[in-house]
């Protein structure tokens, strides 16, 4: 057993429905076998457990580990492409790099960079878009297992329009997906996600196969892209006989509480109703939406329809692994929408980056906040002395303001330690900023 002592911030009471930021100063959490078994003031818990080891984190801020609900493992070397909208960016920038994943040795070094980047950003759980090559997906699960991250991922499948070397067939997709799931789903902290790239690159036959695979893997998730870019949406409508984008998945039984669909910048109200009724989640990827010029995310309309929303970094169209940066960009986006924007506080941003993500991934009973009964997945933020963030934190009036400054000025360099199941991740996983 270990007592973690410090200042803990989290959002078990949903700020989107009237809850507020939970703040515990000079507090302690008792962690046994990775699970938080008691919470209280430090003196209370210390008196009750005088012999336990104390990890003293005072002087920093302890937040739940972040949950990234949409990030592409093969794209870490493709961050920073400028000047292109989605379809051109895919063709010229992202997909040539994804094709290199055919080489397992290349994929393995990218997988190492990727998991280190996630951990260094304070991300402890992620729904990861895998690669089009089964062996490359193996290398991702292997690397994630080495670091100890909570990863849900799978084989990305497509059978039309993309470059030939990224295409598969429904039969091969079925066999390879189930083989990967049998190796990794439920093994350690790994789980499987059925992952057609987007309906633009998938025939009805392939999407029907995706449903069959999903039904064969109890506890698996479904993830894809949705309504990201206007040219993409128009092409999907042409390919599917005028149907809306959500229907292309929904008609194959792919829209329910297991579904995490990225972007949804341009939904119709009908689509939002389907998503809300189904209990599906939209992964909001704000830096990606800005970088590719995809548009401004209608968060208020999602909330009005009861659609669950969480955050995704969408590396490599997104600009890095930090969910602090995504939170800030989510805030900017709503500000830029004026009267149509949904006002966001720092507590909303923390909720989006933690508990909302845990709910999306079906992990809310385990992670997302630091309540008794949850696993201790956490990160320590401590800015360098004299840095603008340290100055801002020192002069904030309350912890909502502290957290606003963290989202505004914080970077992976401020994250000093990360724990999963109460275990400190290896220093080596924290070297990359
Ligand atoms: N739609 C299909 N593939 C992709 C991708 O790799 N990134 C983004 N942002 N959108 C996509
Ligand atoms: Zn994406």
Give me the average pLDDT of each 10-residue run along the chain (433 residues): 98 98 98 98 97 97 98 98 97 97 98 98 98 98 98 98 98 98 98 98 98 98 98 98 98 98 98 98 98 98 98 98 98 98 98 98 98 98 98 98 98 98 75 35
What is the three-class DSSP state of 416? strand
CA proximity to 330, closest of 291, 289, 281: 289
CA-nearest residue for atom 8, ligand 1, is 317
State whether the beta carbon of 94 lies less than 6 angstroms from ligand 1: yes
State whether the beta carbon of 198 lies less than 6 angstroms from ligand 1: yes
β-bridge partners, 28: 5, 40
CA proximity to 229, closest of 292, 166, 300: 292
State whether the beta carbon of 228 lies less than 6 angstroms from ligand 1: yes
CA proximity to 235, closest of 189, 198, 275: 198
CA distance 122 to 140: 18
Residue 30: which H helix or E strand, with range?
A: strand 22-32
- List Cβ neighbours of 33 (8 Å cut-off, separation of 6 or more): 422
Residue 417: which H helix or E strand, with range?
A: strand 415-420
CA distance 307 to 277: 8
Domain boundaries, the chain: 2-64+368-424, 66-360
State the distance from the centre of ligand 2 to the C-alpha of 225, rounded, in angstroms. 6
State whether the beta carbon of 407 lies less than 6 angstroms from ligand 1: no
Is 66-360 in CATH node 3.20.20.140? yes
CA-nearest residue for atom 7, ligand 1, is 317
* CATH placement of domain 2-64+368-424: 2.30.40.10
Q: Give yes or no for a contact between 327 and 309, defined as CB atoms under 8 angstroms apart.
A: no
- What's the confidence (pLDDT) of residue 427? 56
- What's the confidence (pLDDT) of residue 157? 98
CA distance 209 to 204: 9
State whether the beta carbon of 138 lies less than 6 angstroms from ligand 1: no
CA distance 64 to 376: 8
State whether the beta carbon of 317 lies less than 6 angstroms from ligand 1: yes
CA distance 210 to 367: 28
Count Cα atoms within 13 angstroms, Cβ side, for 373.
Answer: 5
State the distance from the centre of ligand 2 to the C-alpha of 75, rounded, in angstroms. 10
| Residue in the structure block whose two tokens are 């990794």 | 184
Class of residue 133 by CB neighbours under 10 A (exposed 0-12, middle 13-18, buried 19+)? buried
- What's the confidence (pLDDT) of residue 432? 33
State the distance from the centre of ligand 1 to the C-alpha of 90, rounded, in angstroms. 7
CA angle 82–87–89, rounded 5-degree value: 25
Q: Could you tell me the two tokens for 227? A: 């309504």
CA distance 121 to 338: 30
Q: Give yes or no for a contact between 198 and 210, defined as CB atoms under 8 angstroms apart.
A: no
CA proximity to 64, closest of 4, 16, 116: 4
| Residue 25 C-alpha from the chain's centroid | 28
Q: Where are the beta strands (DSSP E) in 227-298?
A: 259-263, 281-284
Give the tens place of pLDDT for each residue, 205-218: 999 999 999 999 99
- List Cβ neighbours of 189 (8 Å cut-off, separation of 6 or more): 144, 145, 148, 149, 150, 151, 420
Mutate to test the pocket of ligand 1, among 92, 94, 200 (most ligand atoms within 8 A of CB): 94
Q: Could you tell me the two tokens for 28? A: 């302690």
State whether the beta carbon of 197 lies less than 6 angstroms from ligand 1: yes
CA distance 380 to 418: 6
| Residue 362 C-alpha from the chain's centroid | 12
- What's the confidence (pLDDT) of residue 426? 79
State the distance from the centre of ligand 1 to the C-alpha of 37, rounded, in angstroms. 41
């Amino acid at each position: 057993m270990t007592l973690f002592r410090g200042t803990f911030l989290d959002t078990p009471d949903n700020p989107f429905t009237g809850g507020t930021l939970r703040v515990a100063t000079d507090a302690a959490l008792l962690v046994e076998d990775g699970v938080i078994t008691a919470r209280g003031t430090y003196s209370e818990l210390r008196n009750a457990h005088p012999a336990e080891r104390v990890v003293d984190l005072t002087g920093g801020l302890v937040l739940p580990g972040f949950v990234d609900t949409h990030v592409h493992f093969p794209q870490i070397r493709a961050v920073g492409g400028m000047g292109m909208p989605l379809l051109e960016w895919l063709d010229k920038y992202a997909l040539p790099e994804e094709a290199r994943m055919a080489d397992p040795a290349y994929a393995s070094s990218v997988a190492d960079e990727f998991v280190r980047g996630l951990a260094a950003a304070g991300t402890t759980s992620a729904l990861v878009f895998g690669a089009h090559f089964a062996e490359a997906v193996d290398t991702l699960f292997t690397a994630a297992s080495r670091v100890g991250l909570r990863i849900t991922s799978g084989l990305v499948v497509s059978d039309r329009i993309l470059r030939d070397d990224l295409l598969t067939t429904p039969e091969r997709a079925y066999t390879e997906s189930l083989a990967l799931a049998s190796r990794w789903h439920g093994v350690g902290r790994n789980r499987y996600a059925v992952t057609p790239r987007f309906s633009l690159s998938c025939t009805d036959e392939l999407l029907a196969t995706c449903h069959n695979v999903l039904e064969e893997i109890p506890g698996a998730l479904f993830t894809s892209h949705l309504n990201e870019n206007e040219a993409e949406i128009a092409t999907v409508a042409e390919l599917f006989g005028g149907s809306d984008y959500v229907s292309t998945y929904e008609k194959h039984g792919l829209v329910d509480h297991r579904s995490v669909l990225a972007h949804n910048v341009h939904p119709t109200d009908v689509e939002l109703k389907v998503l809300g009724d189904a209990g599906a989640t939209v992964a909001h990827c704000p830096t990606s939406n800005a970088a590719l010029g995809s548009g401004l995310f209608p968060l208020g309309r999602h909330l009005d329809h009861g659609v669950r929303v969480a955050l995704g970094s969408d590396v490599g169209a997104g600009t890095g692994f930090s969910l602090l940066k995504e939170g800030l960009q989510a805030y900017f986006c709503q500000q830029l929408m004026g009267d149509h924007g949904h006002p966001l506080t720092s507590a909303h941003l923390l909720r989006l980056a933690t508990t909302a993500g845990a709910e999306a991934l079906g992990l809310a009973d385990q992670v997302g906040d630091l309540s008794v009964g949850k696993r201790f997945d956490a990160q320590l933020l401590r800015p360098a002395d004299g840095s603008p963030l340290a100055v801002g934190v020192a002069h904030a009036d309350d912890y909502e303001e502290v957290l606003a400054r963290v989202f505004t000025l914080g970077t992976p360099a401020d994250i000093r330690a990360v724990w999963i199941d109460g275990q400190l991740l290896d220093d080596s996983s924290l070297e990359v900023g």
